[in-house]
Amino acid sequence: MTQPTRSARSAVRPSIREAQKEATARLLLDSAAELFLEHGYGHTTIEQIATNAGASRATFYLHFEKKADTAVALISDQIVAETTEFYRRLDAMWPPTQPRLRDWLDDALTFYERHREVLEVWRQALASEPSLARFQAVQNEQFAEVMVAYLGGWDEAGQHEARLRLSVLIVELTDIAMGWLNGVWPVDRVTITGILLDLWTAGLRLGRDPDRP
C-alpha cells in the first residue's frame, strides 16, 4: 500500500500549533460558560474568564475580540446544530397534523428544559449586547431556510413573509418557553403546549391558502 506523503498527512492532521490554539480557545470558552452559569453574563469579565482558564487577557484577545464572541461561540457550539435539525424535523412532516404539531411543540419544551441554563445565559447576553440581536436574527433566518417544504407552499412574492412569520414564531416560542420554565406563567405543560399550538397553527397559516390575505 502506498504511504501518504508528508504534505498529504499534514493536510488532514492539524499542526501542533493549530491544535494548541484550538485547545486554548476551548479552555477559554469552557471557562466563560462556567462563569456565566455561576455569576451571570453581565457580572463576568474578560479578566475573570482568562484567569479561570489559566491564561492572560492578551491570550483571550488572540482568540476572541470581545466577551460577546464567547456567547456567540457558546450558543453556536451547543444550540445551533440541534435547533437546525429540529426545524428539519418539522419540515419533514409538512404539512403537520394538529397532533403531530402538538407533539413537536412538546418536544420543543423538552429542548428548552434541557438547554435552559445556556439559553438563559444567551438571553442575558442579548440584553447586555445589542449587537447580538443581528446574530440572533440571522440564525432565525437560517432556521427558516431549512423549512423547504413550508417555503415551497408560498409563491415567490410571499417568500419573504413566510420567512418572517417563521422567524417571529421562533422568537415567540423561545420567549414563551423560557418564561414558562422561569415561572412567569404558572400553568401546566398541557396548557402552555395548547397555547403554542394555537399560535403556530395561525402563524404558519395551516389549512389556509397562503395566497389569500
Judge whether 140 lies within some domain. yes
Distance CA 54, CA 62 (A): 14
Question: Is 87 inside a domain boundary?
Answer: yes
- Domain assignment of residue 7, yes or no: no
Q: Is 130 helix (H, G, I), strand (E, B) or coil?
A: coil
What's the pLDDT tens digit per position in 70-113?
999 999 999 999 999 999 999 999 999 999 999 999 999 999 99
Same domain (yes/no): 51, 75? no
For residues 202 and 98, give the distance between their C-alpha atoms in angstroms, rounded to a whole number: 12
Examine residue 48 and state whether it is found in any structural domain, yes or no. yes
Query: Are residue 175 and residue 137 in the same domain, yes or no?
Result: yes
- Picking from 3-7, 22-26, 137-141, 168-172, which range would have the lowest pLDDT averaged per residue? 3-7
Residue 8 in domain:
no
Final residue of a domain: which of 48, 64, 80?
A: 64
- One domain, residues 80 and 50: no
Looking at residue 156, the DSSP 8-state letter turns out to be: G
56 domain-assigned: yes
Which among 45, 16, 17 has a CA at the least distance from the CA of 31?
45
Instruction: Round to whole Å and give the CA distance between 189 and 193.
Output: 6
Q: Residue 119 domain-assigned?
A: yes
Residue 25 sits in the same domain as residue 118? no
In tens, the pLDDT along 117-126 reads 999 999 999 9
Q: Could you report the per-residue pLDDT of 12-55, keeping only the tens digit for each?
A: 566 777 778 889 999 999 999 999 999 999 999 999 999 999 99
pLDDT reading at 211 higher than 90:
no
Percent of the chain with pLDDT strictly greater than 70: 90
Q: What is the per-residue pLDDT for 162?
A: 94
Average pLDDT over residues 174-198: 96
52 and 101 belong to one structural domain: no
pLDDT of residue 207: 61
Residues 32 and 117 in one domain: no
Stretch among 16-20, 130-134, 176-180, 202-206 having the lowest mean pLDDT: 16-20
58 and 122 both lie in a single domain: no
In this structure, the answer to whether residues 29 and 76 fall within a common structural domain is no
Number of domains into which the chain is organized: 2
Here the contacts of 20-27 (C-beta below 8 Å, separation 24 or greater) are 21/63, 24/53, 24/55, 24/59, 24/62, 24/63, 25/63, 25/64, 27/53, 27/54, 27/55
CA atoms of 33 and 37, how far apart (whole Å):
6
**Is residue 101 located within the same domain as residue 156?**
yes
Quick one: 34 and 95 in the same domain? no
Is residue 181 in a domain?
yes
What CATH number corresponds to the domain at position 57?
A: 1.10.10.60
The domain in which residue 31 lies consists of: 13-64
Residues 79 and 54 in one domain: no
Cβ atoms 200, 105 nearer than 8 A: yes
